[in-house]
């Protein structure tokens, strides 16, 4: 259905909502033209945010699917390019070109957070987050949030809790 919808009306955005958290379904949905993929256990707030994100022309994946997709993409990329056996080629631009806030936003995108969730986490408006995301994508030469999440994982931009409970 997604393929037919997007083929007939390319401007239409499709957000898949399913109980099946299977890689095969995620890949098929994305290949068919879906802009988003959420699980039915998503809260009403997450679903509403997902609809807004997709309607605005962005992409969205359930956090569990994002992690698996990044892991698989990275594995395939390393297998086909030989990256991982030696030093990685330098990125077009690097994390050093980002502001501290853009780096924070990138790390939160890598965790699968939506703009609304990032705004709540950083105590800023969603509009401010969108500005940071746009600037970060331009600086890194990336097309979308999925590429940003992959870039973040490949370049070690992750937010983890340290032993004393502070984020680093």
pLDDT tens per residue across span 71-103: 776 766 666 555 554 444 444 457 888 999 999
Higher pLDDT, 47 or 21: 47
Domain termination residue (choose one: 40, 61, 87): 87
Q: How far apart are CA 135 and CA 62, in angstroms?
A: 24
Residues 47 and 100 in one domain: no
Residues 97 and 81 in one domain: no
Segments forming the whole domain that contains residue 38: 1-87
With cut-offs at 50, 70 and 90, classify the pLDDT of residue 167: very low
Residues 103 and 157 in one domain: yes
Residues 82 and 120 in one domain: no
Mean pLDDT of the chain, nearest integer? 79
> Mean pLDDT over residues 47-56, rounded?
89
> Mean pLDDT over residues 26-36, rounded?
81
Residues 5 and 67 in one domain: yes
Is residue 68 packed enough to be buried (19+ CB in 10 Å), middle (13-18) or exposed (0-12)? middle
Percent of the chain's residues with pLDDT above 70: 81
Domain termination residue (choose one: 51, 68, 87): 87
pLDDT digits (tens, 9 = 90+) for 137-151: 888 888 788 788 888
Question: Cα 123 to chain center, whole Å?
Answer: 20
> Mean pLDDT over residues 26-53, rounded?
86
Q: How many domains does the chain have?
A: 2
Residues 78 and 7 in one domain: yes
């Amino acid at each position: 259905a997604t393929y037919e919808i997007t083929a007939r009306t390319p401007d239409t955005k499709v957000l898949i909502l399913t109980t099946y958290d299977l890689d095969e379904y995620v890949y098929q949905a994305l290949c068919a033209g879906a802009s988003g993929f959420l699980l039915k256990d998503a809260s009403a707030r997450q679903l509403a945010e997902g609809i807004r994100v997709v309607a605005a022309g962005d992409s969205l994946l359930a956090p569990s699917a994002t992690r698996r997709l990044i892991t698989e993409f990275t594995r395939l990329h390393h297998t086909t390019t030989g990256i991982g056996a030696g030093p990685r080629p330098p990125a077009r631009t690097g994390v050093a070109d980002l502001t501290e806030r853009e780096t924070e936003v990138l790390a939160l995108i890598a965790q699968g957070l939506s703009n609304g969730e990032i705004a709540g986490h950083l105590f800023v408006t969603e509009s401010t987050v969108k500005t940071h995301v746009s600037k970060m994508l331009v600086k890194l030469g990336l097309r979308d949030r999925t590429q940003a999440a992959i870039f973040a994982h490949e370049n070690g931009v992750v937010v983890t809790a340290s032993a004393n409970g502070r984020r680093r």
